[in-house]
């Protein structure tokens, strides 16, 4: 039996935040059928997030097991779908977000440890036909007709059926942009704007103050990926301090034509992000204090 993780998604209509994993199981469906599956979800490999449960989405509810040989040319399906879900608690979601903040791309890497139980036919078919012997007593004899009835011959060591359990370990990495746009809204984490801000490549050529400000911003970025929010704010003070009482900024804006300034994409995103952050901060404080806006 082989298994492949072919799709991961967040369930949209769910009371509890739930991620669904679709696995494609390759097996001999005429002789083996999936009975149950259990497992657990980890992030990335060693921290348990949630147990896995089966999501009931089977297209077929009857799975006949056959010991008779399949006629030549007959269609023989070899795949079954296994859909597993994981309900994520608030603490699990917080852990995921903390892990994303430490990843430079904001990716999420899940690891699934699954145990799949199947029921396997072990009886060997023996094609038979009824032959009437002397005194009219019918007996079974081997049939030369491939479409004849089959008798099941028991394997002394395995019997007619046996249950088999197989371990399936799979890993899936969800890119940060996909998580933000497709997963976060469905998991109740809100909507996010992904912003790309160009980084100055040669700040030293622009003077000591800008060089100092860029170094402070670089330190803030390191603490940002590490989730050290207080240190981020402390580091960014170096940016504002570097530009305090700095006439160079006035000269740049005046000489470039401030009244006729055309914003670039990063400028628009920067102003949008600042406005959104200020709005979110005020809204959270007002909600906590119970003050209407």
Are both 89 and 45 inside the same structural domain?
yes
pTM exceeds 0.85: no
Q: Is there a domain that residue 195 lies in?
A: no
Per-residue pLDDT, averaged over 182-197, amounts to 72
Are both 93 and 209 inside the same structural domain?
no
Q: Is there a domain that residue 282 lies in?
A: yes
Are both 108 and 217 inside the same structural domain?
no
- The reported pLDDT for the residue numbered 149 is 64
Are both 271 and 174 inside the same structural domain?
no
Q: Is there a domain that residue 129 lies in?
A: no
pLDDT digits (tens, 9 = 90+) for 117-170: 998 888 776 666 666 666 666 666 666 665 556 666 677 777 778 889 999 999
Q: Is there a domain that residue 71 lies in?
A: yes
Are both 14 and 106 inside the same structural domain?
yes
Q: Is there a domain that residue 153 lies in?
A: no
Are both 37 and 94 inside the same structural domain?
yes
* Residue 51: CB atoms within 10 Å: 13
Are both 176 and 217 inside the same structural domain?
no
Q: Is there a domain that residue 192 lies in?
A: no
At 105, the pLDDT band (50, 70, 90 cuts) reads: confident
What is the extent of the structural domain holding 257?
203-289
For the purposes of burial, counting CB atoms within 10 Å of the CB of 56, is it exposed (0-12), middle (13-18) or buried (19 or more)?
exposed
Are both 11 and 76 inside the same structural domain?
yes
Are both 174 and 70 inside the same structural domain?
yes
Q: How many domains does the chain have?
A: 2
Q: Is there a domain that residue 13 lies in?
A: yes
pLDDT at 231 over 90: no
Q: Is there a domain that residue 157 lies in?
A: no
């Amino acid at each position: 039996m082989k298994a492949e993780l072919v799709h991961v998604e967040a369930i949209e209509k769910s009371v509890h935040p739930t991620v669904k994993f679709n696995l494609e199981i390759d097996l001999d469906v005429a002789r083996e059928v999936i009975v149950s599956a259990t497992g657990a979800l980890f992030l990335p490999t060693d921290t348990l997030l949630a147990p896995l449960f089966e999501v009931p989405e089977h297209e077929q509810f009857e799975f006949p097991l056959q010991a008779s040989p399949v006629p030549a040319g007959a269609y023989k399906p070899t795949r079954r779908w296994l859909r597993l879900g994981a309900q994520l608690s608030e603490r699990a979601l917080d852990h995921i977000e903390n892990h994303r903040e430490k990843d430079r791309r904001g990716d999420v890497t899940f690891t699934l440890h699954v145990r799949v139980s199947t029921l396997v036919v072990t009886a060997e078919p023996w094609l038979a036909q009824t032959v009437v012997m002397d005194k009219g007593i019918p007996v079974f004899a081997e049939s030369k007709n491939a479409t004849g009835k089959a008798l099941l011959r028991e394997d002394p060591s395995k019997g007619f059926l046996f249950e088999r359990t197989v371990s399936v370990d799979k890993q899936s990495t969800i890119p940060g942009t996909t998580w933000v746009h497709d997963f976060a809204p469905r998991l109740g984490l809100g909507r996010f704007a992904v912003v790309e801000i160009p980084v100055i490549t040669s700040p030293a050529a622009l003077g000591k103050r800008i060089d100092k400000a860029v170094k402070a911003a670089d330190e803030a970025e390191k603490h940002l990926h590490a989730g050290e929010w207080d240190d981020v704010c402390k580091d960014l003070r170096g940016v504002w301090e570097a530009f305090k009482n700095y006439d160079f900024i006035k000269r740049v804006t005046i000489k470039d034509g401030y009244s006729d300034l055309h914003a670039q994409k990063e400028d628009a995103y920067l102003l949008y992000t600042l406005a959104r952050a200020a709005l979110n901060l005020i809204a959270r404080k007002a909600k906590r204090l119970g003050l209407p806006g």
